[in-house]
Amino acid sequence: MKPTDHDLLILDGACGTNLQQMIIPQSAWQGKEGCVEILNISAPEVLIELHSRFVDAGAMVLETNTFGASRIVLEEYGLQDQVEELIFAGVENARKAIGGKPDVYIGGSVGPGTKLPSLEHISVEELASAHGEQVRALVKAGVDMLIVETCQDMLQVKTTLATCFEVLEEMDKDIPVMASITIEKTGTMLVGSDIATAAVTFEPFPLFSFGLNCATGPRDMESHIRYLSRHWPGRISCVPNQGLPEVIDGQVCYTLTPEQYAQEMKRFVTDYGVSVVGGCCGTTPEHTRELVKTLKGVKPGIREVSA
């Protein structure tokens, strides 16, 4: 089977917040603290263990630890010439965690980078070149789908998606592409665009799914998901944080329990027809396990989409 053959897909949780809870030798950072992609080659056993926990919890898609594996981000650590090496290792770690288990797929994660074209941090041409290199490496490494996520700038998303489909055509590959934007508590993306603008802008792209991830918990996403349910013609994805972060005893915590999270997501599936679900920051294997249990036998609700 392929990812596109499933009525409902369940993604794994975020690498970043889970890695913070794991024991990682200081030497593994190689003086590149903050660059989690270096762990793909310096501490692969850590990534394989983390991915394995989500496979055991029932996740159907493992996101590769390649969110920041673009030349744009890696040059901040002097690793700009290791894009392909880090990506190949990240995909291989996910593959080893799956261990041949059927119907578990590898989603190649493509983050927004650290420079936004609308704010003139980077030119469109530079962004396209960097993300083209990242996407090409992910496809060569054998991912089952591409996940363009945590998008904050409309120009960045359009550039990255156009680049994705150009690379896939160039490589003669037919791989599903997900796109996921981030809407802040203010109700818009970082650069001010709302969900209606985003939906109209990305409708021409042949996306496998479109939706939201990161920034907020499920409740702050509901009005945007409701809009997509009524106006987006394709699959909808919802990959929230486990609520808003709180500082408790000096530690940043996400307080949504696995049970609360699973019930919120079930409602999104049944009420709004969401068919790609998962968790972003704060999501643990326990959250995913509860989600899988709660959604067993559940089908996405039927939607009536208006133009």
Q: Quick: pLDDT tens for 183-213.
A: 999 999 999 999 999 999 999 999 999 999 9
The answer to whether position 39 is within a domain reads yes
Q: Is the pLDDT of residue 15 over 80?
A: no
Identify the CATH number of the domain in which residue 216 sits: 3.20.20.330
The answer to whether position 5 is within a domain reads no
pTM: 0.96
For the chain, give the mean pLDDT: 95
- Closest residue by Cα to residue 209 from 191, 176, 240, 235: 235
Is-contact 175 122, C-beta < 8 A? no
Predicted confidence band of residue 14 (pLDDT cuts 50, 70, 90) = confident
- Closest residue by Cα to residue 213 from 162, 272, 278, 265: 278
The answer to whether position 115 is within a domain reads yes
Q: What's the pLDDT tens digit per position in 238-290? A: 999 999 888 888 778 898 999 999 999 999 999 999 999 999 999 999 999 99
Q: How many helices (H) and strands (E) does the chain have?
A: 11, 10
Q: Would you tell me how many other CB atoms lie within 10 Å of the CB of residue 129?
A: 15
The answer to whether position 139 is within a domain reads yes
Is-contact 130 160, C-beta < 8 A? no
The answer to whether position 214 is within a domain reads yes
The answer to whether position 100 is within a domain reads yes
SS3 assignment, position 78: coil
Q: What's the pLDDT tens digit per position in 69-115? A: 999 999 999 999 999 999 999 999 999 999 999 999 999 999 999 99
Instruction: State residue 253's pLDDT score.
Output: 85
- Give residue 158's domain range: 18-234
User: Quick one: tokens of 35?
Assistant: 């660059």
The answer to whether position 155 is within a domain reads yes
Instruction: State residue 238's pLDDT score.
Output: 98
Comparing 12-16, 140-144, 241-245, the range with the smallest average pLDDT is 12-16
Task: Return the DSSP state at 302.
Answer: P
The structural domain count of the chain equals: 1
The answer to whether position 25 is within a domain reads yes
